Amino acid sequence: MESINSFLKYIFHYKKKTVDQIVFYISLISAIVMVLHVGYISNPELADKSRRVVVGLYYGLFLFETIRTISSIIVDRKVNVSHYSGVLVSLYFLFITVARLSGGLLQTFSSDEWLYLGIAIIFLSELSRNSLFFDSLYFNPTILFVVSFLGLIVLGAFLLMLPRTTIQAPLSFVDAFFMATSAVCITGLAVTDISTNFSLFGQSVIMILIQIGGLGIMTFTGFFGYFFSGGFSYKNQLMFGEILGENKLNSVISTLLTIIFITLLFEGIGAVLIFTSLDARLFDSVGERVFFSCFHAISGFCNAGFTIIKEGMSHEAYRFNYHFQLVLTSMFVLGSLGFGTIFNVYTLIKEKAKQVLNKYLYKKSYRHRPKIFTFHSRFVVWCNVVVIVIGTVSYFLMERENSLLQDQSEWGKWVSSIFMANSSRSAGFSSLEIGFLGMPTLIMMSTLMWIGVSPGSTGGGVKVTTVALALMNIVALAKGKESIEIYKRKIASESVNKAFAIILLSVVTITFSFILLNFSDPNQQTVSLLFETISAYTTSGLSLGITPSLSSTSKIILMFTMFVGRVGMLTLLVAFIKNTRNKSYIYPTEKIMF
């Protein structure tokens, strides 16, 4: 026994990285075999053999992970933070194994899909654990952020090109990259109908790309890397602090955990509410209904606009299901507020609840906390309220005697107006045929797409705060003021400069892409091409129906436009041409006439 303990201490003190690398490569091989089995192999005999290999690899991973976790706990003589993930993964594997052997009440968890999920969890944990070793190299965090999106798009395109991703013919190289870019950039433009042409595997790939792309792959790898390794190095905190926009180094981990927690919480609640709003007769099984609910909860919160409803949201069973529309609207409105704002509202509600409880229940004084609701959150909420109200009322007035005639009640007309107006900002869902809308409505929707949602959210556009600052700056100049003042605060000139730079870059990018589309697809209507360009740049995803008929060149142009719109043109410029040298002198000031 003593010799075993000595051997384990030697392994986990001096060869721990070797053990981790062995588990990582085994999980990588398992993941590759699993993907080939699910997405590529169509021959029944070969599929049966590959299935046996996948099951064997599953049990091998289970064994390796369990032995590693138990041995590490024995060596440390206590359960550390780094052990929690291993214990949870081992318990999951044990539960699925018991379900496959026993059946009965656990029969639901005995299908092969739960094995695939277990392999994916192990691979993700090992990949995230290894991703934290970026601190051994020098990376510009902004460039790393951009490259991570490109890498995710390439991986997604490879998966979407697999034969079993689609029910009909496999996607071409350009179409696969287009769909992957649209999913990662949470746009929603599609060259094929994923509800009819994509298999369950293909729809699952789209859902995963939406989830990771909506939050950013570095956010995911950072969270899982911290969770599975038990901590961050100092360089890790610096890198993720810049990526997340967190100035306080000691708040990086809490910010990362908050983003993941808020996302999973609201998506979970949304999935449950969507599940309850659906007609069970529309689905063949409870599992299909659960997948539908999860897919739309993720697509809604991430403002992606993808749907697996046949005939789209205009399908009669969903077009007049106002409960479903309101739940989905709530999802993409919450997703559009930004993680910081949502958490700030949660903090405010919690403090108000404490105040009421202390005053009326516990009968004791309550100590007020200053600045619970921050200036930024207050500004963001008011900007969103203004845009939501103006957009909803405008849509209702413009389409009351047109597309809204399909709704039999005033309540239905208002729900459809709320849904369409807020979806236009970034979500990209459409319960009505866009092509039948009036031209004034299309102009208004294009404006809403361009304005977009809040900074730090899953949505796109130039952001409501950017437009608000630009308008307030115009008013301030008209009044002869030298600065913008709101809520008894002076807005920094740097923020105003960035706002106008973002607006100018958006106009330049949209115009450039629109001109190129006119050259590559001269037969398409100009209005449709302009609408498509704005939708791609703002990652909204609404379309007049021309996406599948575009040429390969036009699709590549739109891919570039979606990527720039998601990452941000200003971010790209800062990443590649930023001058970090500080000058120790200031030039004399001059004025230019306007």
Q: Model-level pTM?
A: 0.80
How many residues are there in the chain?
594
pLDDT for the residue numbered 16: 64
Average pLDDT rounded to a whole number, residues 75-84? 65
pLDDT for the residue numbered 243: 47
Is-contact 147 575, C-beta < 8 A? no
pLDDT for the residue numbered 407: 81
Task: Give me the percent of the chain exceeding a pLDDT of 70.
Answer: 79
Query: % helix / strand / coil in the chain, to the nearest 5?
Result: 75, 0, 25
- On the question of pLDDT at 511 being above 90, the answer is yes
Measure CA of the first residue to CA of the last residue in the chain; give whole Å: 85
Let me know if 206 is exposed, middle or buried by CB neighbors in 10 A (0-12, 13-18, 19+).
Answer: buried
- On the question of pLDDT at 234 being above 60, the answer is no
CA atoms within 13 A on the CB side of 547: 24
Confidence of residue 409 (pLDDT cuts 50, 70, 90): confident
Tokens of 499: 């706002």
Q: Report which of residues 111 and 3 the model is more confident about.
A: 111
Confidence of residue 314 (pLDDT cuts 50, 70, 90): confident
Which residues, in sequence order, are CB contacts of 9 under 8 Å at separation 6+? 75
